[in-house]
Amino acid sequence: MVGQGKFWRSGYGRAGMVRAAALALMMAMALPAGAATDRAVKTKVPPVYPELAKRMKISGVVKVEATVDPDGKVTGVKTLSGNTALQSAAEEAVRKWKFAPGEGTDTVNVDVNFAMAQ
């Protein structure tokens, strides 16, 4: 077999190559895409409860991914999960948060809780 590497001559053949590729793919999928950091929140602005969500008695947690610059200012937000009626209010609140300064731009995952007053 001219031009074929050591892997092919080792007896694993095409099936071994497919298994190795599948294993590599599974390992890559198991790793987080961009690990979020834990930066301390210095100023937390509470969300404004959307009127429609109040009337419909919608409550719950909205998970938001915040991009934070070295000074602690939020430069971007993205909802990861939560009720769609609450997402905009959660993003708007997190945009106003201030975090502790850091060495670079970080991604921080935060939970914004919406609970109906009793």
pLDDT at position 19 is 58
pLDDT at position 26 is 43
Q: Do 22 and 72 reside in the same domain of the chain?
A: no
pLDDT at position 117 is 77
Average pLDDT per 10 consecutive residues for the chain, totaling 118 residues:
54 57 43 61 95 95 97 97 97 97 94 87
pLDDT at position 33 is 40
Q: Are 87 and 71 in contact (CB under 8 A)?
A: no
Give the domain extent around 17.
1-31
Q: Is residue 5 part of a domain?
A: yes
Q: Is residue 15 part of a domain?
A: yes
Q: Do 27 and 64 reside in the same domain of the chain?
A: no
> What's the domain count of the chain?
2
Q: Do 27 and 52 reside in the same domain of the chain?
A: no
pLDDT at position 38 is 83
Q: Is residue 109 part of a domain?
A: yes
Q: Is residue 78 part of a domain?
A: yes
Q: pTM for the whole thing?
A: 0.68
